[in-house]
C-alpha cells in the first residue's frame, strides 16, 4: 500500500507564526516537522511506500525529506506540482503517474496530524470489507478545533450526501485522511475539465455516484494545522496524550505534569530516548551517592534527586512516543536500569544510615534488604503477569499503589524528613504486602474449573 | 470427542508382581494408577468425555475411578463386558451404545502409558486431514520394550498391509492408540460372526478395505505395561523424561539426579506440588537462619541446606508433571518463593558475616547487596524475555551459567569453605556480568532493520 501525501501548499496563515522562514511541511511540531510526522504516522500503520507531492519551495522540502529519511528503509517518490496554487485536487492528480495503474492508495495531508491508530483502523476496515469504494475519515463537528475553516459533510443514514466548506447543513467534518480507489483520478480529471481544481469537488462527484463511504473516527486525536493557534492546540493535545491510563497516583498527580513540560523542551533537541534513560539512571546514582554520606543535608539532596530521576524516567518514553522512536529494546533497557537504580539507592540509604548510627545497624540491614526485595518483587510480579496486574492496579481501585513512582516519592519524603528507618520500613511493608496480595488475588484467575468449554 | 478406554482384562502376568491384589487398571505407576494415567493423559489433549469398558473385577474399578474423578469435571460412562475373557474386540464393541451414532472416537488401552503430546498430535493430524479413515499410532520395532509380545504391522509405502502378533515380516508396531471411525464397529461385528474376538482381527479388516492409516510416533514415549519388567521400564523412562533441556549445569549433573529419586518416592504420597514448594522454601529459610549464626560449623549446615532446598525445588515440578498437576499458578508461586528464598539467604550471609567480623562490614553489605541485585536480575531478565534467554542459555553454549542451580551451589561451596566474602563477590560479579551480557546480546535481536517484508 502506498500513501500519497500532499505537501505542495504554502500555508500562508501558519507562516505568520514564529517559523515564518519555513515552508509549511517543514514547520516543527514537538520535535518533528509536519511532513516527517505524516510519514512516520503512516509508517506505524505498515506503510513503507510514499508519493509526496511538492509545490511551494519544493526543492527545500525534497532536500529536507531526503536527508531525514536516508536510512529509514522507506521508498519515497517526489512529484512536483508547479501549479500548486490552482488547488489541491491537481496535486492529487499529479501523483497518478507515480502509482501503478488501478492501484488503491492512502491519501494524507501533510498539515493534518493524527493518532496513527486511526490509519491502522482505516486499513483494517477496508481489508475486512472490500466494497470497492473510497473511504473518507470523518469526525463530529463538535470535536473540531477550527470549525469555520473545516470541510463539512452532510450524512443521511451514515451515507455521505454532500461535501463542501460552505454547506449549511452538515453532520460531520472531513479529517483529511482517505482510502482512495483509482476512481478518484477519473473524478478529478472530469472536474478539472470544468475548471474545478479542489479535492472536495472530486469527492462531491464520488458521493454523487455512490463511490464514497465515511469512517467515523470521533474520539481520536487529529488536527488540521492551519494557524499558529491550531499548532498550539495540537501540541497541547499531543502532550496530554502522553499520560497513560496505567500511570500510578504520584505519576499522574506530579511526575507526568512536570515530565510533559520537560519533554516539550527536550523533544526539540537531538537527545535520544536512550540518552534520557541513562540521564535518569545517572541522577539516581547521584542520589544514592548523597544518601551514602548519611548527613541530613545530603539526604535532602539525595531525596530530591531520587524524585528528579523518577520524573526524568518518564521523559524517555514520552520523547520516544512523540518521535516514533519507541522500541521494545528501549523499554527493556529502561526496566533493567530502573531496577539497578532502585537497588543502588536503597544500598546508599542503608550504608548512609549505618555510617551515622553504627549501633542499631542489624535492623537497618534487615529492613533495607526487605525494602529492596519487595521493590524488586513488585516489578518481578508485574513482569510475569504484566496485563493482569496492570489492569487490576490501574484505576487505583485495587491493590496497594506502591509502584516505582510511589516508592521514589516515599524515598524523597523520608529523606527530607530524615526518617530513613521509617521510610525503609514503610517500603518493606507495603511492597511485600502487595506481593502477597498479588499472589492471592491472582489465584482466583487460575483456579477456574477445568471443565471443557461447552 | 470421546475416548473409549479398555480396562476389562485381567493382566495376569503383571499381577505376579508386588501389587498382586489389585486388578490391572488399578496398578500404580509413579503415583497414579494405570487407569487414572490413561484418563489424565487424554484430558491433557482436551478430551473430557470417556467411556470405560470394565470386565475383570469391574465393581472395584468403577468404584475407584468414580471416587478419584469425583470433582474432575469429566464425564465418565462405564460399560460392562462380562465376557471380557473372549477378547478385547468384544470390549470395544460393547462401547458402541455409549457413543452417539456415527461418532468418531479415540480408543485407548488402560495398560498403555504414553506421552500425552502423542494424542494431541494424533488429533491435530486428523483435524487437518479428514480422510474418513481410522488412524493407528505405530512405532518402529527397535523402540519397543517387549517386541515378542507386541502386535506387528507390515507397511508398504507407509500404508498398512497386515497386522498381527505372529506375522513374520513387519516394519512397525501397534502402540495401542487409535482414532476410530464407526466403521470399526461394523468390522468387529463381522469378525465376531466368524468367531474372532480380538481387536486386531477387526483392524485387519479395516486394512483390507483401505480404511486404516498409520501415524508414526517414533521418538515419543509410550509403553505397553504387561509385566513387572515393563512397569519398571516405563517408570525409568518417565523419570528420565523429567530432565528438561533448559536445565542448568548443576541441575543436570547433580540436582536432577537426586530429585528424580526423591520424586519417585514422594509421588506415592499425598504431598501436593505446592506443599513441596513450601517445603523447599522452609529449608531455604532454615539455611538462612544457620547463615545468620555466622560460625563456620553453622555455615556448613546452612550451605548443605541451601543445596538441599535447590534439589527439593526440582521435586515440585516433577511431581506435578507426573501427576498431571502442573499449573501456571503453581509455577508463579514457585518463582516468587524462590526469589524470597534467595534474598533471605543472602541476608543471612551478610548478617552472619557482620556478626563475626564487625570490622569490614561496609564491603560485605555492598558486595552482598550486589549479589542480591544480580540474582534478582537474572530472574527478572529471564521473566521479561523468557524464551529468548532460555533458548540461548540452554545447551550451555552461550552466556554465563549463573541461574539458580549454580547460585545455590556456589553458596553451598562458599559456606563449606568458610569463604562468605569470596562467595558473595563471585555471585555479585557473575550475575551482574551476565545481565550486562544479556542486555547487549538481546540488542542484536531488536536492532533488525525496519524495512517492510517483501
**CA-based R_g, chain B, Å:** 27
- A266-281: per-residue pLDDT in tens? 999 999 999 999 999 9
Alpha-carbon distance B382 to nearest alpha carbon in chain A (angstroms): 10
pLDDT at B395: 34
pLDDT at B295: 92
The overall average pLDDT reported for chain B is: 90
Cβ of A339 within 8 Å of Cβ of B372? The answer is no
User: What's the rounded Cα separation, in Å, for the pair B44 and B29?
Assistant: 18
Cβ of B73 within 8 Å of Cβ of A380? The answer is no
User: What's the rounded Cα separation, in Å, for the pair B343 and B337?
Assistant: 10
Contact status of B46 with chain A (Cβ, < 8 Å): yes
Contact status of B292 with chain A (Cβ, < 8 Å): no
Looking at per-residue confidence, does A9 or B21 come out higher? A9
pLDDT at A387: 43
Query: Measured between CB atoms, which of B327, B347, B373 is closest to A343?
Result: B373
Alpha-carbon distance B327 to nearest alpha carbon in chain A (angstroms): 8
pLDDT at A359: 58
pLDDT at B454: 40
Query: Measured between CB atoms, which of A328, A442, A449 is closest to B329?
Result: A442
pLDDT at B292: 94
What are the residue ranges spanned by the domains of chain B? 2-237, 244-446
User: What's the rounded Cα separation, in Å, for the pair A325 and A341?
Assistant: 23
Cβ of B442 within 8 Å of Cβ of A48? The answer is no
pLDDT at A130: 74
Looking at per-residue confidence, does B402 or A384 come out higher? B402
CATH topology of domain B244-446: 1.20.120
Looking at per-residue confidence, does B131 or B340 come out higher? B340
A-proximal residues of B, 51-80, CB under 8 Å: 72-73
- Residue A387: list chain B partners with CB under 8 A: none
Question: How many other CB atoms are found less than 10 A from the CB of residue A141?
Answer: 15
Give the distance between the most distant pair of CA atoms in chain B.
94
| Per-residue confidence band for A396, with pLDDT thresholds at 50, 70 and 90 | very low
Cβ-based neighbours of B188, under 8 Å, separated by 6 or more: B89, B90, B92, B93, B199, B202
Specify the range with the lowest mean pLDDT, choosing from A11-20, A429-438, B198-207, B366-375: A11-20
- B247-282: per-residue pLDDT in tens? 899 999 999 999 999 999 999 999 999 999 999 999
Q: Which of A288, A333, A376, A445 to mutate to test the interface with B (most CBs of B within 10 A)?
A: A376
CA torsion, ordered A202, A207, A211, A212, to nearest 10 deg: 90
Cβ of B347 within 8 Å of Cβ of A369? The answer is yes
Question: What's B2-237's CATH class?
Answer: alpha beta
Looking at per-residue confidence, does A359 or B96 come out higher? B96
pLDDT at B18: 62
Cβ of A46 within 8 Å of Cβ of B452? The answer is yes
User: What's the rounded Cα separation, in Å, for the pair A41 and B271?
Assistant: 57
Alpha-carbon distance B221 to nearest alpha carbon in chain A (angstroms): 26
Q: Are B255 and B312 in contact (CB under 8 A)?
A: no
The closest of B312, B289, B314, B252 to B415, measured between CA atoms, is B289
Alpha-carbon distance B404 to nearest alpha carbon in chain A (angstroms): 16
Residue of chain A with shortest Cα separation from B351: A362
- Residue A376: list chain B partners with CB under 8 A: 339, 373, 376, 380
- B345-393: per-residue pLDDT in tens? 999 999 999 888 765 578 888 999 999 999 999 999 888 776 444 444 4
Average pLDDT over residues B20-45: 93
* Three-class secondary structure of residue B79 per DSSP: strand
* Three-class secondary structure of residue A245 per DSSP: coil
Cβ of B384 within 8 Å of Cβ of A379? The answer is no
Q: Are A376 and B374 in contact (CB under 8 A)?
A: no
Residue of chain B with shortest Cα separation from A46: B452
Cβ-based neighbours of B192, under 8 Å, separated by 6 or more: B89, B90, B93
User: What's the rounded Cα separation, in Å, for the pair B369 and B372?
Assistant: 5
User: What's the rounded Cα separation, in Å, for the pair A452 and A429?
Assistant: 41
- Residue A442: list chain B partners with CB under 8 A: 329, 332
A-proximal residues of B, 270-289, CB under 8 Å: none
Which DSSP string corresponds to B81-110? -TTGGG-HHHHHHHGGGGS-TT--EEEEET
* Three-class secondary structure of residue B401 per DSSP: coil
User: What's the rounded Cα separation, in Å, for the pair A399 and A249?
Assistant: 12
User: What's the rounded Cα separation, in Å, for the pair A26 and A31?
Assistant: 11
Query: Measured between CB atoms, which of A48, A365, A384 is closest to B383?
Result: A384
Alpha-carbon distance A162 to nearest alpha carbon in chain B (angstroms): 38
pLDDT at B128: 86
* Three-class secondary structure of residue A110 per DSSP: coil
Looking at per-residue confidence, does A289 or B327 come out higher? A289
- Residue A377: list chain B partners with CB under 8 A: 336, 339-340
Average pLDDT over residues A55-60: 94
pLDDT at A89: 94
pLDDT at B453: 41
Contact status of A448 with chain B (Cβ, < 8 Å): no
User: What's the rounded Cα separation, in Å, for the pair A377 and A403?
Assistant: 10
- A182-238: per-residue pLDDT in tens? 999 999 999 999 999 999 999 999 999 999 999 999 989 999 999 999 999 999 999
| Per-residue confidence band for A399, with pLDDT thresholds at 50, 70 and 90 | confident
Phi, psi of A194 (to 5 degrees): -90, 5
pLDDT at A360: 60
User: What's the rounded Cα separation, in Å, for the pair B389 and B393?
Assistant: 6
pLDDT at A70: 86
Task: Answer whether residue B404 shows pLDDT above 90.
Answer: yes
Q: Are A428 and A420 in contact (CB under 8 A)?
A: no
B-proximal residues of A, 381-400, CB under 8 Å: 381, 383-385
Q: Give the A:B interface size as CB pairs under 8 Å.
A: 124
Cβ-based neighbours of A297, under 8 Å, separated by 6 or more: none
Contact status of B423 with chain A (Cβ, < 8 Å): no
- B109 pairs with which residues across the strands? B6
Average pLDDT over residues B202-228: 93
CA torsion, ordered B368, B370, B374, B375, to nearest 10 deg: 20
Amino acid at each position: 500500500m502506498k500513501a500519497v501525501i500532499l505537501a505542495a501548499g504554502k500555508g500562508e496563515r501558519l507562516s505568520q507564526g514564529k517559523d515564518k522562514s519555513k515552508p509549511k511541511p517543514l514547520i516543527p511540531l514537538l520535535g518533528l516537522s509536519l511532513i516527517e510526522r505524516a510519514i512516520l504516522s503512516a509508517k506505524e500503520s505498515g506503510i513503507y511506500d510514499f508519493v509526496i507531492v511538492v509545490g511551494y519551495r519544493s526543492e527545500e522540502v525534497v532536500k529536507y525529506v531526503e536527508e531525514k529519511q536516508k536510512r529509514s528503509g522507506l521508498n519515497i517518490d517526489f512529484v512536483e506540482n508547479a501549479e500548486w496554487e490552482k488547488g489541491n485536487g491537481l496535486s492529487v492528480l499529479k501523483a497518478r503517474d507515480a502509482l501503478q495503474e488501478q492501484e488503491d492508495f492512502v491519501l494524507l495531508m501533510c498539515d493534518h496530524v493524527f493518532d496513527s491508530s486511526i490509519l491502522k483502523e482505516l486499513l483494517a476496515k477496508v481489508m475486512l470489507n472490500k466494497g470497492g469504494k473510497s473511504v473518507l475519515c470523518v469526525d463530529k463537528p463538535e470535536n473540531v478545533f477550527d470549525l469555520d475553516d473545516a470541510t463539512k459533510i452532510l450524512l443521511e443514514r451514515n451515507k455521505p450526501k454532500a461535501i463542501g466548506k460552505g454547506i449549511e447543513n452538515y453532520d460531520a467534518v472531513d479529517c483529511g485522511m482517505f482510502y482512495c480507489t483509482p476512481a478518484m483520478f477519473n473524478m478529478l480529471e472530469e472536474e478539472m475539465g470544468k475548471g474545478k481544481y479542489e479535492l472536495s469537488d472530486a469527492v462531491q462527484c464520488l458521493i454523487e455516484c455512490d463511490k464514497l463511504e465515511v469512517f467515523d473516527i470521533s474520539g481520536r486525536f487529529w488536527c488540521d494545522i492551519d494557524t499558529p493557534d491550531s499548532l498550539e492546540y495540537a501540541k497541547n493535545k499531543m502532550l496530554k496524550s502522553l499520560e497513560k491510563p496505567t500511570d500510578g497516583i504520584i505519576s499522574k498527580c506530579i511526575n507526568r505534569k512536570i515530565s510533559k513540560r520537560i519533554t516539550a523542551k527536550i523533544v526539540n533537541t537531538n537527545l535520544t530516548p536512550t540518552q534520557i534513560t541513562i540521564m535518569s539512571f545517572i541522577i539516581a546514582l547521584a542520589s544514592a551517592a548523597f544518601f551514602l554520606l548519611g548527613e541530613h543535608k545530603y539526604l535532602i539532596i539525595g531525596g530530591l534527586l531520587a524524585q528528579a530521576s523518577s520524573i526524568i524516567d518518564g521523559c524517555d518514553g514520552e520523547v520516544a512516543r512523540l518521535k516514533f522512536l519507541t522500541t521494545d529494546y528501549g523499554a527493556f533497557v529502561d526496566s533493567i536500569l530502573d531496577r539497578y537504580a532502585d537497588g543502588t539507592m536503597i544500598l546508599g540509604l542503608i550504608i548512609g544510615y549505618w555510617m551515622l548510627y553504627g549501633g542499631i545497624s542489624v535492623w537497618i540491614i534487615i529492613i533495607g534488604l526487605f525494602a529492596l526485595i519487595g521493590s524488586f518483587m513488585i516489578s518481578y510480579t508485574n513482569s510475569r503477569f504484566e496485563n493482569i496486574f496492570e489492569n487490576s492496579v490501574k484505576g487505583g481501585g485495587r491493590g496497594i499503589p506502591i509502584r516505582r513512582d510511589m516508592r521514589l516519592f516515599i524515598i524523597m519524603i523520608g529523606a527530607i524528613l530524615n526518617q530513613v528507618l521509617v521510610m525503609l520500613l514503610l517500603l518493606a511493608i507495603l511492597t511485600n504486602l502487595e506481593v502477597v496480595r498479588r499472589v492471592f488475588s491472582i489465584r482466583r484467575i487460575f483456579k477456574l474449573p477445568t471443565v471443557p468449554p461447552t
